[in-house]
Structure 1
């Protein structure tokens, strides 16, 4: 005879486990909803600059063009190091080699393009931690053989305090606008129900401009850093309550 304990064990094992119910409850807002997009920007003087520079060379063959370009680039990098730019702040941003052709119309007769050689270019992106030295650095680049310069682009190394200030201003503005709509529509108050943020920290809104330089470029290039802004955009929803 099986024991009562054994029978209970068998009975328990024969019962299928109950399904686990999952319940999701959504409470819909009955009050009117106001959706606002608010952007606030805080500006400050930049403490960092990024400058693009590079050299271009032309030669009859690809090998010669690349060899001459490498020699000029080594001179340019050495000048940057002499100017106090650490190696970690110098980065190759592009190397290009292309065949060059003359497509000009000669004598009004259709003629195939004339091959004139190869052009090699090597570009660098240089970070500068002292914006006051940007003009001096540009001059040093040109003196070292740079044939083009792009920038400078100014930025803030740590935009966190600016973003915090912009965030608080944006939230305050959103609340003020929501309260206005509530009162104008005959409601007592506005209650925040959703909030989403996007931001851009310490970066300029404009892209870098490219300039070409001649060998006799004037010294003491003037550079004005101005100010850059950190922006916070809030998308908020308020429920209007009576």
Structure 2
């Protein structure tokens, strides 16, 4: 065996010895290295629940006419009234956003069973907007006003926080304390003197933009009390990922 081959084999043994061994238990991972103490990896989550301070509602109008141009014209007129009603309820122009416009031909398929082709009946236009407000207690009256102004479709409301990160200041401290206790417990159980923090990374889910718009619900304006709306609470979840090195 040549000297070069022996040198290559020796290098391979060194690399193998330096490769860490990984053991997993539950949501934690302990990586054992030969030159330093084991690395303990785990995550801690904290939930914060509070009353929302903003809400978003969706509203729209669907119109049908013999021609596409006429359907669009009728829809534009109806949407102007809808947007004006939202502004009259205190919604700022920058908080009103178009969320979808669609134009499609409409057919009558009722005679298909008799071998007749579908009968063209016109074009349908749907136009919708989303309005965001911090006046949580006015959501019910706002929905009623939009329907009274001609809205044929409504969806929402979606509740959230203007500054979800501000809620999590206390949660970060709680998560770090929980992580310190967990790392110390692992160190004690594994026969180590303690644990040194190596890294922290943050993730989480927060009350944010509304989800994609689902199929809308058609409503008719009625003379009745304001639509009841209960905001409840929104939950923001903070997740911190930690790495600690166990030390002798």
Question: TM-score when scaled to structure 1?
Answer: 0.80
- 1:142 maps onto 2:142 in alignment: no
Q: 1:121, 1:175 → 2: CA distance? A: 55
Q: Give the CA RMSD over aligned residues.
A: 2.3
- 1:132 maps onto 2:137 in alignment: yes
**2:21: which partner in 1?**
none
Question: TM-score when scaled to structure 2?
Answer: 0.79
Q: Identify the range of structure 1 (137-146 vs 80-89) with the bigger mean alpha-carbon deviation.
A: 80-89
Structure 2: gaps (5+ residues): 1-32
Q: 2:245, 2:116 → 1: CA distance? A: 73
Q: 1:193, 1:211 → 2: CA distance? A: 52
| Count of residue correspondences | 215
Query: Which of 135, 156, 161 in structure 1 is aligned with 2:161?
Result: 156
Distance 1:235 1:190, change over 3 A: same
- The answer to whether the Cα contact below 8 Å between 1:203 and 1:228 also exists between their aligned partners in 2 is no
By how many angstroms is 1:82 displaced? 1.5
Q: 1:146, 1:80 → 2: CA distance? A: 11
- The answer to whether the Cα contact below 8 Å between 1:203 and 1:230 also exists between their aligned partners in 2 is no
- The answer to whether the Cα contact below 8 Å between 2:59 and 2:129 also exists between their aligned partners in 1 is yes
**2:205: which partner in 1?**
200
- The answer to whether the Cα contact below 8 Å between 1:35 and 1:238 also exists between their aligned partners in 2 is yes
Structure-to-structure mapping, 1:1-242, within 5 angstroms: 30-104=36-110, 106=112, 108-203=113-208, 210-216=216-222, 218-242=224-248
By how many angstroms is 1:218 displaced? 4.6
Q: 2:96, 2:166 → 1: CA distance? A: 28
Larger Rg belongs to = 1
Q: 1:63, 1:159 → 2: CA distance? A: 44
- The answer to whether the Cα contact below 8 Å between 1:154 and 1:204 also exists between their aligned partners in 2 is no
